[in-house]
Amino acid sequence: MISSKMIKLTQNNSVIRAMFEEGNRLAAEYGRENVFDFSLGNPNFPSPPAVKSALIDVLESVEPTEIHGYMSNAGFPSTRSAVADFLNGAHGVSFSADNIIMSVGAAGGLNVVLKTLLNPDDEVIAISPYFVEYGNYVGNYDGKLVVVPANPADFQPDTAKIAAAVTEKTKAVIINTPNNPTGVVYSEASLKALAAALEAKQTELGTSIYIISDEPYRELAYDGAFVPYVTKYYRNTLVCYSWSKSLSLPGERIGYIVVPSELDEYQLIFDAASIATRVLGFVNAPSLLQLAVERCVSAQTDIGAYDANRRLLYDSLTSFGFDCVLPQGAFYMWVKVPDGDDKAFVAAAKKHNILFVPGTSFACPGYVRIAYCVGKSTIEHSLPGFSKLAEEYGLEKTGLEKK
Ligand code: PLP
């Protein structure tokens, strides 16, 4: 018999993946252009040209044995320095290479951090709706995911509820801002309140409670939204960053962990996380990509196309009568299901060849997530289907679309 944990995971195979497969099936039946697949957060826009130039520069100017060889588990010192310098300039922090560990995307970084921190039965708080894999990652190290709902009015963290969920076994609180799936950016006030509550709990319980800030969407913020840098608000913060979304590189698996010197047990955590990178079998983050991001660390994707999609989708869906959260960041729209049955709503949309993910998959039924990191024409062509869906649910048009 194989691993019972894996048998369970296989049976519960992620709904998001299942939707993706369904999209391929529908595309084969109706043609790709007639299927509107909003299920996966796979960026549809190419990486900025600086990424290609950086890759070419690495291949042409660095010795192949250096590019492709083994290295220290934490990554190339030069890459880690470049990341630290960039963060210092961008956020007014003071990191050095000794605070950066290169990682295999955010997923790799989160696993390294959880492997480093957790003993069996330790608790990790997640704020629902949350990225569905957190439960699996925490389960990898026999931890327990404790789910605390966000404030339903604005999907900001509910500090009082988080504080009430903290026990002596609480090792960490995972936050994700800009947020998948709501598109909400946590405000400075929310982060200050969370920091104060966790500081108080650490003092009360005599424990260390770490914030793990999962940040693959940091640069994807609209209308100049301010995305506070979490280490500046709470001393025991580890950051898991990834270029998957910001530079459209999800298949390349490249990111980093920030391990600030102010952490309780900083040196132990840094050393353990470097070893975790090795013993989890990643050994180190992909070497070619490390050297490439070192050369284009300040490159930015033009978020204009995501912004245009966001506006078009939000204006259209609200004009059809849907109740949507206007995303401040990331590339997801969080839409309230008119009658609250998200799974039935997903099935009804599928009849119009529109695919998106039920809120149940993010531990928040009654909503759906629409990933709008797609070509604009996908949105344009999906609108008649969304309009019919609104009619089927008896929604009143607001008339805004006539503007
Ligand atoms: N965290 C969140 C909130 C995500 O949405 C994702 C990917 O969609 C990840 C982590 C994993 O990112 P990566 O591809 O960098 O591992």
Residue 402's pLDDT is: 39
Q: Give the distance (Å) from ligand 1 centre to CA of residue 318.
A: 28
Q: Which of 132, 245, 334 to mutate to test the pocket of ligand 1 (most atoms within 8 A of CB)?
A: 245
pLDDT, tens digit, 9 for 90 and up, residues 346-362: 999 999 999 999 999 99
Q: Give the distance (Å) from ligand 1 centre to CA of residue 107.
A: 6
Q: Give the distance (Å) from ligand 1 centre to CA of residue 217.
A: 9
Residue 14's pLDDT is: 63
The Cα–Cα gap between 170 and 122 comes to 6
Q: Give the distance (Å) from ligand 1 centre to CA of residue 248.
A: 12
Residue pair 337/359 in contact by the 8 Å Cβ criterion = yes
Residue 316's pLDDT is: 98
Residue pair 200/163 in contact by the 8 Å Cβ criterion = yes
- Which residue matches tokens 């993910």? 357
Helix (H, G, I), strand (E, B) or coil at 190: helix
Which residues sit opposite 174 in a β-bridge? Answer: 126, 212
Residue 20's pLDDT is: 72
Q: Give the distance (Å) from ligand 1 centre to CA of residue 392.
A: 34
Residue 16's pLDDT is: 62
Q: Give the distance (Å) from ligand 1 centre to CA of residue 43.
A: 12
- The residue contributing the CA closest to ligand 1 atom 12 is 106
pLDDT, tens digit, 9 for 90 and up, residues 96-155: 999 999 999 999 999 999 999 999 999 999 999 999 999 999 999 999 999 999 999 999
| Domains of the chain with bracketed CATH | 4-47+301-392 (3.90.1150.10), 66-295 (3.40.640.10)
Tell me the pairing of strands 332-336 and 323-325: antiparallel
Helix (H, G, I), strand (E, B) or coil at 387: helix
- The residue contributing the CA closest to ligand 1 atom 2 is 131
Q: How far is CA 271 from the centre of its chain?
A: 25
Residue pair 212/194 in contact by the 8 Å Cβ criterion = no
Atom of ligand 1 nearest to the CA of 104: 16
Nearest to 242, CA basis, from 111, 69, 76, 52: 111
Residue 197's pLDDT is: 98
Q: Which of 175, 212, 244 to mutate to test the pocket of ligand 1 (most atoms within 8 A of CB)?
A: 244
How wide is the angle at C-alpha 66 spanned by C-alphas 64 and 70, nearest 5°? 120
Atom of ligand 1 nearest to the CA of 255: 15
Atom of ligand 1 nearest to the CA of 179: 3
Residue 23's pLDDT is: 82
Q: Give the distance (Å) from ligand 1 centre to CA of residue 240.
A: 10
Residue pair 256/247 in contact by the 8 Å Cβ criterion = no
Atom of ligand 1 nearest to the CA of 109: 16
Q: Give the distance (Å) from ligand 1 centre to CA of residue 53.
A: 25
Atom of ligand 1 nearest to the CA of 243: 15
Q: Give the distance (Å) from ligand 1 centre to CA of residue 244.
A: 7
Q: How long, in residues, is the chain?
A: 403
Atom of ligand 1 nearest to the CA of 107: 16
And the tokens for 377?
Answer: 């024409």
Q: Which residues have any ligand 1 atom within 6 Å of their CB?
A: 41, 105-107, 131, 176, 180, 214, 216, 242, 244, 250, 255
Atom of ligand 1 nearest to the CA of 214: 1
Per-residue pLDDT of the chain in tens (403 residues, 90 and over written 9): 999 999 988 887 766 667 777 888 888 988 888 999 999 899 988 999 999 999 999 999 999 999 999 999 999 999 999 999 999 999 999 999 999 999 999 999 999 999 999 999 999 999 999 999 999 999 999 999 999 999 999 999 999 999 999 999 999 999 999 999 999 999 999 999 999 999 999 999 999 999 999 999 999 999 999 999 999 999 999 999 999 999 999 999 999 999 999 999 999 999 999 999 999 999 999 999 999 999 999 998 889 999 999 999 999 999 999 999 999 999 999 999 999 999 999 999 999 999 999 999 999 999 999 999 999 999 999 999 999 999 999 998 886 553 3
Residue 398's pLDDT is: 84
